[in-house]
Chains A and B, each alone.
Chain A
Amino acid sequence: MLTNKACATSDKKINEEAPCILSCPIRQDARDYVQLIARGRFSEAYRLVRERNPLPSACGRICTHPCETKCRRNSTESPIAIAWLKRFLGDNFSEETRKKTTEKYPEKIAIIGAGPAGLAAANDLALLGYSCTIFESNPTPGGMLRMGVPPYRLPRTAIDNDVEFIKKLGVEIKYNTTLGADITFDSLKKEGFSTIFISVGLLESRTLNIEGVTLGGVLKGVSFLHEANTTGNAKIGKNVLVIGGGAVAMDCARTALRLKPDKVSVACLESRKEMPTTDFEIEETIHEGAILYNSVGPKRILGKNGRVAGLETLKVKYVFDEQKRFNPAFYESSESIIEADTIILAIGQASNLSFLKGQEGIQVTRGGTIIVNPNTFSASVQGIYAGGDIVLGRGTMTESMAQGKKAAIAIHNILRNTALQDEKWAEKPAVPDIAESRIPLIKKEQKHDMPTMPSDKRLTNFDEVELGFPLNTAVKEAQRCMNCGAGAFVDDNLCVGCLTCVRVCPFEVPKIKKGDTTAYIDGDCQSCGLCIVECPAKAISFKTPLEDRGKNTLDAVFQEKFIQGVKPLIINFYCQYSAYNEDKADTVDSLLFLHVKRIGMLGLGKVDPSLYLKAFELGAHGVLVTACKDDDCHFCKEREWVERRTRFTARLLSGLGMDTKRFQTHFVSSQNGKEIIEIIFKMVEELRNLL
């Protein structure tokens, strides 16, 4: 350490945040859990997700994933499947995560509604030390996740698993208890609930103000889904038409398809591009057999004998006016008819505020949402808070969870008169888009498809359509992540401006701008680590502690008690990018557990030659470096560096009189296949003869 220079300050390290994190309403640590999966550190990844997200299994399935929309991999080919990776964690891992606080506060908090907002608020308030009770009108938890989202997208076990965790924190859920019917604000107060958080959601479907909506066979989307999702059979005819273009409309159509009518159609105002749901949902709906009518507006519902016979539509001129407000206009005399015997209205939801009867002090908007202070979430009556869809009007699952989480802190701050803040919500600039000139230097790696149930099997049941990533696919998908915002950074105090980083970077990221004396590495850094190793002044490091470049892992190997007796002991530095090329992920580990300790890294370009020396210094009898073959290199250029550095190390070691067999480098296509097992067996044998 250059003692006359100040050390880097931590705030200098992370100045820009990954867009995936910033775009998430709950600021889920998307990049970091993806990076942990990429390294095979699944339990840590799960813990990281769960610490921020009270409903990971549900979220991994139905989140609208703005993180993926903003993912910088969009510039090279397609985004990382961030949500599916979260689902992979939620489905396969489960363990105690955050320790409950030892703090116990006396206030009892009532939460109305066990949907995403209520569950998130309860989760976070419980962690802060409050005793929470959720009052839910349904017999099961989840709110709209259960009533609205069909089980083929979100199996009920996923919701139950998530809720089980929240219950373990001490949260009590009272089912079949409706505010306004079974309990009242006054009765809650009498029971000692000084604070009430209202998160009842939007339980009603919006209706259309056109002729024919009262005809038999006109169903409301939310009621239809509720019926279908709880009883499994809602009453529909043979020719179903869903009106609406959002996620709920797609859910209605796909649910209707499973009830086996002759035909299901969807009609919406929006063009295909304008539809307010994900492409994936639309594609799956069409794939399963629904017919989509875009850019048509409902004029009137046609009837016959008091029942629906069809929908008369008008062609849409535009949906949004020049001020981008929702203000649809239609072409005159463009009428046409879509025949149907059942029409499901899925054009949005509305609130049911009947529980506020006698609580006129609580102010509501004309649209039927509760007015709260956006910072404190408190309604206009003391002790009453609200969040989620009942405040937002229309929100996603994650937006509702964010409301619940923020409300939990706000409630805590008011009750304790503190100013606790969640640093994750601090404003930060996003890592900018990848420079155009850099895109060709980054290896194209296509997004992995989600395995799905064959379409001919889907429509006979409500089983989950998306089957989830198997382990190898999950890791490979995670390894596409560019680690945005967490790559290398230069400590200005240590940089000597030698230009080494500028010259060695395969992505041409480091620069010394005119007038500057030190190098600067921007957000396009791909985290290969080559510059970190080559920097003669040790001025470059990774921004996050996730990447220790093998140092801690190596130390940990020699912390194990029995290790000193092992002979020969081989330390194998291997590239994790080829570690999941074969199904048998842990074959090598179990076969050669005794003699070989493996230290995996995302690219061996991160390994300092001095670490190879250190392995010997600590007591290894042999060091084996197994790197990827040329074509496999995620960073494209690491092979030459691995060759160069291992040659350099071999020279140093032979200078010390060490047998060359003790330090070996091999380039293999898989870190778990036959090839590597043979290499290891051979090396163990060679060292046995040598020692």
Chain B
Amino acid sequence: MTDTSRRGFLKIAGLSLAGAAGGSALLGAGGGPEPVVEGLPADPAGAGRRLAMVVDLRRFGHDDELIERCIRACHQAHHVPDFGDDRKNEVKWMWAEDFESAFSSAEFAYLRSDLEGKPTLLLCNHCDNPPCTRVCPTKATWRRDDDGIVMMDWHRCIGCRYCIVACPYGSRSFNWADPRPHLAAPHADFPTRMRGVVEKCTFCEERLARGLEPACVEACANDEIVFGDLNDPGSKVRRLLAEHLAIRRKPGLGTRPEVYYIVEDPQTLIEAAPAAVVTGAAETDHA
């Protein structure tokens, strides 16, 4: 009798397993796909990324026009106020400095003439080891684990400015005055800030969520700035870094900045660049 009862038990066990599997399959089918918002990808890029930017200085000339275009696109998109010559109140997400000042820690001597005084586009480096987030008493700024963006929550910022002191790159600005009267063209796509709040570049995370490239990248027509995922070996940023000499700002501080600058001379690009790089540069790299 033990045999039959064991057999019976196995039968029942098998049937209930099959029933459970079938049931959950049916339930899954009945639930249907999760509804999505139009124009807002459910998961635009996914986790496990390390977003980074490569500024190709070879493609930036000495004229400021392109740099101005990038800065304007960024500041317009994010309601960064323009205080003109009033440096005390200045707010900036993106700005330009001479090459030597931008890379002061490299202590260049007898610098190549084309790099001397060359305007260099600067922004928040979205460090892998950001000192600014560590000092924030309210967690109003933090490094996002899934893509490495150093984010800001302006709702939570109390304006103590520790982060400004902590950032070795000068990437953060404080709103000493109400920014609203100093905006060129306010739009509803992005909030402004209020007096008493720190702000900085967010790698356009609000645009990335819609599957768009950062505003400065979009403002460049010829891959002067390239944006992508360093954890993806096939990404354009990784290819550029693998094939060219790129430097970072103040790497000795251990902040591990994630904005890279390619500094090879323009002649190298034309004569020695492998064909694959030149053609590859024409594709767009969606982050």
A binds B: no
